[in-house]
Amino acid sequence: MKTVLGVFASLVEAERAARDLENIGIPNVDISIVAGNIAERHKEYLEKARLSSTSAGAAAASGASTGGGVGLIAGLIALAIPGVGPIVAGGAFATLLTGFAVGAAGGGLISAFTGMGVSHEEAPVYEEAVRRGAVMLAAHVNHPMEHDALDILSRHGARDIRDEVDTWKAAGWSAPDPHPYVYDDTLRSHEMPAEPASSDKPASPSPAD
């Protein structure tokens, strides 16, 4: 599995991308969003999404079709991450950020990004983008869907933030890592970390006395 990750300027763009990702067969549970929410910048849109989700639920119960993506946005939860500030998150991002091992005290957004396959060199850049208000959408995809998923993110406005890094640096930004620059296109896929070895495997038999 891989993680495709896109940087968007708004929840509107991210919602549209999420809808199209679902339309090509990527389950809703494999799509995640995290966004900076300083001054509750997304409050109005979140409220509209929650109202739409309620209406969509009634429509679904009656057999009518509903637009994907709305439920994901409506389910975003508000969090506060030290060093980043207020955010909203849903899906795997929310699970990682609220989990016992990778909560705010355990590394916050950087740990969440690396937990989804982003390198340690790139993670501070994505964290800074969120701190500055960007919307990050991530989807776990199998290899055959990778190209189509990246194409969807691009068509819905996912941007390359490499040029923005230079602007941040010129304004005095520095990251914990000495080389935080994203050398490749930021609209690409990331290898998911390998699953940890199971601890419940039977022990090897002891040699006979």
Give the residue-averaged pLDDT of 34-44. 85
Confidence bin at 49 (pLDDT 50/70/90): confident
For the chain, the structural domain boundaries read 2-191
User: Which of 110 and 21 is assigned the larger pLDDT?
Assistant: 21
68 pLDDT higher than 80:
no
Phi-psi region of 190 (alpha: psi -120 to 50; beta: other; left: phi over 0): beta
175 pLDDT higher than 90:
no
pLDDT of residue 84: 86
The pLDDT tens digits of the residues spanning 101-117 come to: 444 444 678 888 888 88
Q: How far apart are CA 62 and CA 174, in angstroms?
A: 53
Mean pLDDT of the chain: 77
Confidence bin at 150 (pLDDT 50/70/90): very high
Give the residue-averaged pLDDT of 31-55. 81
